Amino acid sequence: MPNSMWHQCLEVLRDEFPAQQFNTWLRPLQSDHREGQLLLFAPNRFVMDWVNEKYLRRIEEVLKDLNGGQAPRVNMKVGSAPRDSESEPKPAVAKEPPAPVQEEADSSVTDEEKGVAVSVGNHTAVRPKTSNERRSVQVEGDIKHQSYLNEGFTFETFVEGKSNQLARAASMQVAENPGGAYNPLFLYGGVGLGKTHLMHAIGNEIVRRNPGAKVAYLRSERFVADMVKALQLNAINEFKRYYRSVDALLIDDIQFFARKERSQEEFFHTFNALLEGGQQVIVTCDRFPKEIVDMEERLKSRFGWGLTVMVEPPELETRVAILMKKADQANVKLSSEAAFFIAQKIRSNVRELEGALRLVIANAHFTGSEITPPFIRESLKDLLALHEKQVSIDNIQRTVAEYYKIKVADLLSKRRTRTVTRPRQVAMALSKELTNHSLPEIGDAFGGRDHTTVLHACKKIVELQETDPGIREDYQNFMRLLTT
């Protein structure tokens, strides 16, 4: 059984499982086939245990089918496939053998500079500082100033739902065991879905468990700005030393590193030094590592060394739970009817949901009114009007997925089961009817499909509306949901 069979097996599994599951658990596996045995390599123990428990039986069945009915021997191991394995094409989140980066990373730090002792948490100096030390304090002081965690973003204030369960579980594991098996932790997903919240929750939990821990949180633009400043001040070694001295480095919205070659280079070395030192790295991004444009391949590949988890848009029940929690935190009584009403109207992301709630609460305080659905409708009039005018493909996908109780990722995936293809066609037809996007743009937004597929979907849905009352009703419901 050649290794290529593993890639055929992956293709089958890709169609069977939602993209999030496939990307998180199956895609990172590497294969090596020797002496009638297929060895699968997982990047870490978490992935290995999970695959063993949830997917191995299915993997064996698919391989048996592909192998003419003969059951192969499959074993799993943590690590990477040997260099000489025929494992082609390379998986998206392959684990490369560690490069000798430590030496390279530290080569520019001279002995004299290594000897400069500046504690970030405690700036007391007992003798006049040298110019080097003054620079250190300035650079590190600036960095520390930017690194505070938001104390309100904790696990307690984070509402768990189907859409974020895995991300929350992985974050909790990392908080309990920083620098352990899931390093780096890469959280990705659309805007305003709670990635930053989870990242701070990990940082806060690390500090709660170990008050002496040094946790640095910053947005990636800040890392770039600090680095530029350090270069201008001729203090790049202090910059390096600071970032390599933390117990956990939390970098938010890594996609802004795109095209910043020098920052990517610097971050790459920092990243390696931290991983080798057993310090935790957590990164958030708006997309899967492989899909980040203008980012060095070696950096993208390294992001996949630990654990990559997606945060999905919350479904209706979670949106209601979030609203109830936020109202509770603001000491405001919100009926479940009112929460439900807002959650049905605002589907885009949690940030918008929070904004809408704030507006309703402020209006209620101001007018002394009770928060009822008619009052909410009036309070959110402008916001809802704006939403109604801006029907986006994104919005259509969320609405359709929610309606048919499938995931947005399913609509974008290659799965061809009936439960997914029909909703996908409906969503494509609605995108054509309600937005100004072209057929190729719509195809792109549905997992990179060809424009002819979109055209076919539009025709099919027109046809079905004539012959299938169920589809006609669904379609009318969508038109109402999306435009009123």
Ligand X SMILES: Nc1ncnc2c1ncn2[C@@H]1O[C@H](COP(=O)(O)OP(=O)(O)OP(=O)(O)O)[C@@H](O)[C@H]1O
Q: Binding site for ATP: residue ranges? A: 192, 194-196
350 touches ligand X by CB under 6 A: yes
Q: How far is the CB of 62 from ligand X (least distance, A)?
A: 34
Tokens of 88: 């082609």
Angle at 315 between CA 50 and CA 396, to 5 degrees: 115
Q: Which is nearer to ligand X, 221 or 444 (CB)?
A: 221
Annotate each residue in 301-330 with x if it binds ligand X (CB under 6 A) or - if it does not, as one string: ---------------------x--------
Q: Which of 136, 196, 279, 431 binds ligand X (CB under 6 A)?
A: 196
Coil, strand, or helix at residue 315?
coil
Structure tokens at 41: 């390599």
Q: Is 235 in the site for ligand X (CB under 6 A)?
A: no
Which segments are annotated as binding site?
Answer: 192, 194-196
Nearer residue to ligand X within complex by CB, 60 or 286: 286
Which residues does 279 contact at the CB level (< 8 Å), separation at least 6? 178, 179, 246, 247, 248, 249
Please enumerate in sequence order all residues whose Cβ is within 8 A of that of 329, keeping only pairs 6 or more positions apart, or say none.
Answer: 157
CB of 228 to ligand X, least distance (A): 22
Enclosing H/E stretch for 167: helix 165-176
Q: Which stretch binds ligand X (CB under 6 A): 38-46, 150-158, 396-404, 456-464?
A: 150-158
Written as one letter, the residue type at 216 is A
Distance CA 314, CA 398 (A): 10
For the bound state, the minimum distance from the C-beta of residue 175 to ligand X, rounded and expressed in Å, comes to 16
Contacts with ligand X in 243-272 (CB under 6 A)?
253
Cβ atoms within 10 Å, residue 397: 25
If one asks whether residue 158 binds ligand X (CB under 6 A), the answer comes out as yes
Q: Is the dihedral of CA 296, 301, 303, 309 positive or negative?
A: positive
Q: How many whole angstroms from its chain centre is CA 78?
A: 23
Q: What is the rounded CA–CA span in Å between residue 91 and residue 94?
A: 5
Closer CB to ligand X, 48 or 409, in the complex: 409
Please report whether residue 394 would count as binding ligand X according to CB under 6 A: no
Q: How many CB atoms lie within 10 A of CB 120?
A: 18
Of 22-30, 49-57, 154-162, 438-446, which segment contacts ligand X by CB under 6 A? 154-162
Q: DSSP secondary-structure letter at 128? A: P
Q: What residue is closest to ligand X based on CB?
A: 194
Q: Least Å distance between CB 191 and ligand X?
A: 4
Q: How far apart are CA 309 and CA 188, in angstroms?
A: 6
The CB-side HSE value for 250 (13 A sphere, CA atoms) comes to 27
**The one segment of 18-26, 107-115, 153-161, 435-443 that binds ligand X by CB under 6 A:** 153-161
Task: Give, in degrees to the nearest 5, the angle at Cα 379 between 378 and 381.
Answer: 60
CB of residue 155 to ligand X, shortest distance in Å: 10
CB atoms within 10 A of CB 86: 12
Q: Any contact of residue 354 with ligand X (CB under 6 A)? A: yes
Query: DSSP label at 23?
Result: I
Q: How far is the CB of 314 from ligand X (least distance, A)?
A: 6
The residue among 17 and 158 lying less far from ligand X, judged by its C-beta, is: 158
Tell which one of 33, 135, 197, 449 touches ligand X (CB under 6 A): 197
Select 286 or 468, whichever has its Cβ closest to ligand X: 286
CA 385 to chain centre: 30
- Among residues 7, 58, 134, 351, the one that binds ligand X under rule CB under 6 A: 351
Q: Which is nearer to ligand X, 26 or 254 (CB)?
A: 254
The CB-side HSE value for 51 (13 A sphere, CA atoms) comes to 26
* Stretch of residues binding ligand X (CB under 6 A), selected from 40-48, 157-165, 289-297, 378-386: 157-165
Residues interacting with ligand X, by CB under 6 A? 153, 157-159, 164, 191-197, 253, 284, 286, 322, 350-351, 354
